[in-house]
Amino acid sequence: MAQFFETIILIFGLFAWSRSFLRYRSRDINFGEFTLWTIIWGGLILIVLASTPVYRFGKLFGTGRPIDVIVYSSIILLFYLLFRVFVKLETVEKNMTKITREIALKKK
């Protein structure tokens, strides 16, 4: 059962990386962003492939299967990324308000 999940994750990782590559090739994302996604998806694939050391690593944190380490780490990473997105959104909103207010005052 564990192997089945790891195969699914492996296929998903490869698929996600290919999407990043296609977006880089069509210049939707720059090289830096492509590198970041390569590290993320490549890391995921590596963890699945190198399951024995990860299994030992997972034992340290009390998780039985390598996939659990990936899932838990992913949740933490997602929360962090969500936080960053919200902070960025807040900055964009504030800038929008500033511009809107300035234009309103200037037009008067």
- Residues at the site binding another protein, with contacts judged by CB under 8 A: 86-87, 90, 93-94, 96-97, 100-101, 103-105, 107-108
Best CA proximity match to 51, nearest among 36, 64, 35, 61: 64
Least separation, in Å, of the C-beta of 78 and another protein? 17
The residue (of 59 and 88) whose beta carbon lies closer to another protein is: 88
The residue (of 33 and 90) whose beta carbon lies closer to another protein is: 90
Tokens 């990782």 -> residue:
13
Determine contact, residues 45/15, Cβ cutoff 8 Å.
no
- H helices of the chain, where? 2-25, 31-49, 51-60, 66-107
Least separation, in Å, of the C-beta of 74 and another protein? 22
Least separation, in Å, of the C-beta of 89 and another protein? 10
